């Protein structure tokens, strides 16, 4: 089973080639779209929901969302938040992105899946991405509500029964068990989940200081991911690239590419990256031109010290490809 549709892959390869031929150094691959920051959960490690009430009341219209993807030109869009299913125009937003031939990933905690399951139609370029941080006890603890794990598992089954592509996104926190995480990933494969995404949590500045001990340092990430991979790595259809997993395991270094997954939310284009908020810009071009990219990344900015998020490093993995890596990437893409 391929990681994504062949047509989407062709579009991405063309996009990459076009930018390289033109000599463009920085360009977006995935628009991280947050049409609303409002959420129906208060996850312990999330900084997005811990913003001012005024921001939480704001939302982008469907037209705002279409303008954002047309403006930046990225071949893919990840719709998150907040919880995007609380947005009244979410079905229109998804369909509009698909009409633009974009690869669309709709991230959700699963609670409101019933609102859209019969309104959206399966499409080779569309994937539901369910947030699932671990097995029942761990996940419910991290989202601060009992019963959510079971809701997610039921949602996954319902989406698969209707023919949708389904992925899961597991954020790694301190205290996560490699054994439990591996068991969960294997269970998801048995359920027919198409892909699994794994990434260490980012240390959001907005998170309550009393919870700062939940975040992993780099060496802790290396060991945890090695342990997970040793238990199940060859049996999981990961959406993360093998080069990114080399990085997570400490086998190679990558230079962060914060511009590769720009964030557009109700306040504008967020700079400098999906995770840090120093400024909001009116246009994508303004954000790209006014951000001093050399000031950010591991070793350049203390706020980036523990960050190993895929939003910064998956594009870096593509830029660091060797001939051997390219062959690994081809095998990874078509592996089932």
191: domain CATH number is 3.80.30.10
pLDDT at 202: 83
Residue 47 lies in a domain: yes
pLDDT at 2: 59
Beta-bridge partner residues of 147? none
pLDDT at 227: 97
Using CA atoms, how far residue 184 sits from 19, 48, 187, 231, in Å, is 39, 26, 5, 11
Residue 1 lies in a domain: no
Which range of residues forms the domain containing residue 26? 6-334
pTM above 0.85, yes or no: yes
Residue 295 lies in a domain: yes
**How many independent structural domains does the chain possess?**
1
In the β-sheet with 268-272, what is the strand arrangement from edge to edge? 195-200, 165-172, 126-131, 103-108, 76-79, 30-33, 263-265, 268-272, 277-281
pLDDT at 288: 96
Residue for token digits 């303008």? 67
pLDDT at 207: 59
Beta-bridge partner residues of 200? 172
Beta-bridge partner residues of 195? 167
pLDDT at 265: 96
Using CA atoms, how far residue 272 sits from 6, 152, 181, 193, 244, in Å, is 32, 32, 32, 33, 21
* Distance in angstroms (rounded) separating the CA atoms of residues 109 and 231: 26
Residue 290 lies in a domain: yes
State the sign of the Cα–Cα–Cα–Cα dihedral 111, 117, 120, 122: positive
State the sign of the Cα–Cα–Cα–Cα dihedral 259, 265, 269, 275: negative
| Nearest residue to 168 (alpha-carbon basis) of 187, 147, 143, 195 | 195
pLDDT at 250: 96
Which residues in the chain come in under a pLDDT of 70? 1-2, 47-52, 204-211, 336
* Distance in angstroms (rounded) separating the CA atoms of residues 152 and 140: 11
Residue range 226-240, pLDDT digits in tens: 999 999 988 999 999
pLDDT at 299: 87
Contact 107, 92 (CB under 8 A): no
pLDDT at 164: 98
């Amino acid at each position: 089973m391929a990681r994504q549709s062949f047509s989407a892959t062709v579009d991405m390869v063309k996009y990459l080639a076009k930018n390289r031929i033109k000599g463009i150094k920085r360009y977006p691959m995935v628009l991280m779209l947050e049409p609303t920051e409002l959420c129906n959960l208060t996850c312990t490690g999330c900084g997005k929901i811990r913003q001012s009430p005024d921001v939480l009341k704001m939302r982008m219209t469907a037209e705002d969302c279409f303008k954002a993807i047309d403006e930046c030109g990225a071949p893919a869009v990840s719709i998150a938040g907040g919880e995007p299913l609380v947005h009244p125009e979410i079905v229109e937003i998804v369909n509009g992105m698909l009409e633009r031939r974009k690869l669309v990933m709709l991230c959700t905690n699963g609670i409101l899946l019933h609102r859209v399951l019969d309104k959206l139609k399966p499409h080779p370029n569309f994937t539901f991405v369910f947030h699932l941080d671990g097995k029942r006890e761990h996940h419910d603890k991290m989202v601060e509500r009992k019963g959510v794990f079971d809701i997610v598992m039921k949602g996954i089954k319902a989406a698969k029964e209707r023919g949708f592509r389904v992925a899961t996104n597991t954020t790694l926190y301190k205290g996560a068990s490699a054994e439990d995480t591996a068991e969960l990933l294997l269970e998801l494969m048995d359920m027919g989940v198409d892909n699994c995404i794994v990434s260490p949590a980012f240390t959001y500045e907005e998170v309550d200081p009393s919870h700062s001990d939940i975040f992993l340092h780099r060496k802790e990430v290396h060991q945890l991911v090695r342990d997970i991979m040793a238990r199940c790595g060859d049996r999981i259809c990961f959406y993360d690239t093998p080069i990114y997993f080399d990085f997570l395991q400490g086998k190679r270094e990558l230079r962060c590419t914060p511009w590769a997954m720009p964030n557009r939310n109700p306040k504008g284009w967020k700079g400098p990256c999906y995770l840090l908020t120093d400024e909001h810009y009116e246009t994508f071009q303004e954000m790209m031109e006014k951000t001093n990219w050399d000031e950010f990344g591991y070793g350049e900015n203390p706020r980036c010290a523990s960050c190993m998020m895929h939003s910064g490093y998956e594009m870096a993995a593509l830029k660091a490809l060797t001939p051997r890596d390219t062959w690994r990437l081809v095998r990874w893409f078509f592996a089932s």
